[in-house]
Amino acid sequence: MHRRQLLTGLAGVAFVLPLALGRQDAGAASGLTLSPSIIERQAAKGRVGQITITNGLSRTVDVRVAARPWLQSRTGAVTPDRSRSLTGVKLSTRSFALPARGSRTVRVDLTSMPSTGSLYGNAEFIATPRGQKKGQVKVSYRLIGALRLNPSTARRRLRVQAGTAAVRSRVLQLSVRNAGNTAAPITGTYRLANAAGSRSGSIQAVRVLPGYAVDVPVLSTRGFNRGTYTLTARLSQGGRVVANVKRQVVVGG
């Protein structure tokens, strides 16, 4: 398991995150797992799926479970919004004790269809081992499984809005806002040119949550001469071209 403060790219991997810094057995985090680490299906009222948490540690852990929406930063990194619950999602249990080497399955249901026809969030498991010494910092672990409830073909809405293009830390970035209702990856092609020549290539796929904007990396500007360039880009999502972009960009200014 990977210890990371953020989930990148909505990959759906179940990360185990220490919530407090303190002494812990080496590799303890890898003793707690979720399966599956992602539930993906078409959004429909009723049963969504189930997630099983397994405790590979040598002691009992107290587990709390919550369904959360995502927060997404301009870099594309996502993290659970712990201030809110995921509307319309019901879990079969919210807390339980999980003995050493034991496992527990939590059912996930969609109680009402979202008006957008899709829903993206996560199931957050907070596991706190018992038997921690008083006076020391208590250590808990956070495991996160992704919930990806996609719109039906009939309700799928592909809409992308391209914003400004700018160079930051020698990387040309294009602001891309997802105004549709699917988190299908956004990719594309680009051409950056001025009077001296041009460079073209592909834009690496990025998942942008509906309603969010991400500064999508286009290419590194290392080695480029200082000046004004024209960026031409074509963005695609779900197998369709969703935006044609033309922007003036200052490199090395």
Does 19 have pLDDT greater than 80?
Answer: no
Question: Could you tell me the pLDDT band of residue 252, with boundaries at 50, 70 and 90?
Answer: confident
Note the pLDDT tens digit of each residue in 140-153: 999 999 999 999 99
Q: Can you tell me the mean pLDDT for 14-26?
A: 42
pLDDT score for 10: 43
pLDDT score for 136: 82
Q: Which H or E run includes 38? A: strand 38-42
Compute CA distances 136 → 20, 27, 87, 141, whole Å.
11, 20, 36, 16
Does 75 have pLDDT greater than 80?
Answer: yes
The span from the CA of 17 to the CA of 126, in Å, is 9
Q: Can you tell me the mean pLDDT for 56-69?
A: 96
| Helix locations, the chain, DSSP H | none
pLDDT score for 174: 98
User: Considering Cα of 45, then 46, then 48, then 54, what sign does the dihedral take?
Assistant: positive
**Sheet holding 160-168: strands in order across?**
160-168, 171-178, 213-220
Question: Could you tell me the pLDDT band of residue 196, with boundaries at 50, 70 and 90?
Answer: confident
Does 133 have pLDDT greater than 90?
Answer: no
Question: Could you tell me the pLDDT band of residue 176, with boundaries at 50, 70 and 90?
Answer: very high
Does 20 have pLDDT greater than 80?
Answer: no
State the chain's mean pLDDT as an integer: 89
Note the pLDDT tens digit of each residue in 37-54: 999 999 999 999 999 999
- Is the whole-model pTM more than 0.75? yes
CA dihedral 223, 228, 234, 235 (to 10 degrees): 80
Does 67 have pLDDT greater than 60?
Answer: yes
Q: Can you tell me the mean pLDDT for 156-180?
A: 97
pLDDT score for 135: 83
Does 98 have pLDDT greater than 50?
Answer: yes
Does 21 have pLDDT greater than 50?
Answer: no
pLDDT score for 22: 36
pLDDT score for 39: 96
Task: Give bridge partners of residue 202 from the DSSP assignment.
Answer: 189
Does 18 have pLDDT greater than 70?
Answer: no
**Which domains are present in the chain?**
7-150 (2.60.40.10), 160-251 (2.60.40.10)
Question: Could you tell me the pLDDT band of residue 134, with boundaries at 50, 70 and 90?
Answer: confident
Does 7 have pLDDT greater than 70?
Answer: no
pLDDT score for 30: 57
